[in-house]
């Protein structure tokens, strides 16, 4: 069942930081549950409980309560509702928090990044053999759903400049000022990220996380463009480079 296509995640770009991150969380929990069932979810939750400490001053408790609901839904503990309808109810609850991309507290924003990275750490700690695969699959599905949503809303541009500009706007929407275009030709666009928002420390986790961008670019371009990484902070470089180029 495709649970997330009804999300109003995009309105040309991300309309709410909370919905974007919660979509990633749901997909990660789904990957764990599909492989390891309720016990798998419990294992990941316990790691988060003992290892993640929020730094937010206000507003975070409500978001954390919402996040606790996600594994319950994935585990099917509320079977009286259709999954899709139930997620709409939870989505409305997040909207009611008023956490818009323009008004979100910078500290709360950092908590979103940190809890996503902590979720990755939890999955890798619990399942070192399958963890990277689950992160990669969740990220790819997130990219696919995001691309489909954009297309449904009328996106029809396949050229390298438009897709490079879209990625730049997405990066700077979720973390203002993080990125800029440093090189642009007919064959390649290079976007420099001055810092890692999460921050990710392991290059293999970074590559799995960025499967979202890879999938997004491939789908929106009709398979003519691809996303790759040049310089990488997890590899010791001072910044990251997101490269959009023509498929050779």
pLDDT given for residue 103 in this prediction: 47
Confidence of residue 94 (pLDDT cuts 50, 70, 90): very low
Contact (Cβ atoms closer than 8 angstroms) between residue 143 and residue 211: yes
Q: ∠ CA 117-122-126 to the nearest 5 degrees?
A: 150
**Are both 130 and 93 inside the same structural domain?**
yes
Does the structure show a pLDDT above 90 at 138? Answer: yes
Q: 131, 151, 171: which is the final residue of a domain?
A: 151
Q: What span, in angstroms and rounded, lies between the C-alpha atoms of 209 and 202?
A: 11
Q: Which residue has the higher pLDDT, 85 or 82?
A: 85
Task: Look at the alpha carbons of 185, 179, 168, 165 in this order and tell me if their dihedral is positive or negative.
Answer: negative
pLDDT given for residue 237 in this prediction: 96
Ramachandran class of 12: left when φ > 0, alpha when ψ lies in -120 to 50, beta otherwise: left
**Are both 168 and 46 inside the same structural domain?**
no
pLDDT given for residue 109 in this prediction: 62
What's the whole-number average pLDDT of the chain?
A: 76
Does the structure show a pLDDT above 60 at 131? Answer: yes
**Are both 125 and 211 inside the same structural domain?**
no
Q: What span, in angstroms and rounded, lies between the C-alpha atoms of 13 and 116?
A: 20
Q: 133, 151, 169: which is the final residue of a domain?
A: 151
pLDDT given for residue 20 in this prediction: 65
Does the structure show a pLDDT above 90 at 132? Answer: yes
pLDDT given for residue 162 in this prediction: 94
Q: ∠ CA 148-137-182 to the nearest 5 degrees?
A: 70
Contact (Cβ atoms closer than 8 angstroms) between residue 191 and residue 241: yes
**Are both 25 and 145 inside the same structural domain?**
yes
Q: Rounded to two decimals, what is the model's pTM?
A: 0.77
Does the structure show a pLDDT above 50 at 81? Answer: no
Residue 172 lies in a domain: yes
**Are both 71 and 131 inside the same structural domain?**
yes
Q: What span, in angstroms and rounded, lies between the C-alpha atoms of 99 and 76?
A: 27
The pLDDT tens digits of the residues spanning 167-203 come to 998 888 778 889 999 999 999 999 999 999 888 999 9
Give residue for tokens 């789908």: 219
């Amino acid at each position: 069942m495709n649970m997330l296509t009804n999300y109003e995640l995009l309105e040309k770009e991300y309309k709410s930081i909370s919905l974007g991150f919660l979509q990633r969380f749901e997909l990660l929990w789904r990957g764990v549950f599909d492989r390891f069932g309720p016990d798998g979810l419990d294992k990941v939750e316990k790691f988060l409980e003992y290892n993640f400490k929020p730094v937010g001053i206000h507003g975070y408790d409500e978001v954390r309560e919402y996040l606790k609901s996600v594994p319950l839904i994935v585990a099917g503990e509320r079977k009286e509702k259709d999954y899709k309808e139930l997620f709409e109810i939870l989505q409305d609850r997040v909207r009611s928090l008023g956490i818009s991309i323009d008004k979100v507290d910078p500290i709360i924003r950092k908590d979103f990044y940190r809890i996503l990275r902590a979720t990755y750490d939890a999955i890798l700690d619990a399942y070192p053999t399958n963890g990277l695969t689950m992160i990669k699959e969740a990220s790819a599905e997130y990219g696919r759903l995001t691309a489909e949503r954009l297309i449904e809303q009328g996106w029809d541009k396949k050229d390298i400049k438009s897709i490079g500009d879209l990625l730049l706007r997405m990066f700077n929407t979720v973390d203002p000022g993080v990125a800029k275009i440093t090189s642009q030709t007919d064959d390649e666009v290079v976007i420099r990220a001055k810092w890692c928002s999460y921050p990710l420390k392991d290059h293999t986790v970074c590559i799995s996380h960025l499967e979202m961008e890879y999938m997004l670019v491939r789908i929106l371009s009709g398979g003519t463009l691809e996303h790759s990484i040049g310089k990488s902070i997890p590899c010791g470089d001072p910044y990251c480079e997101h490269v959009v180029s023509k498929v050779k």
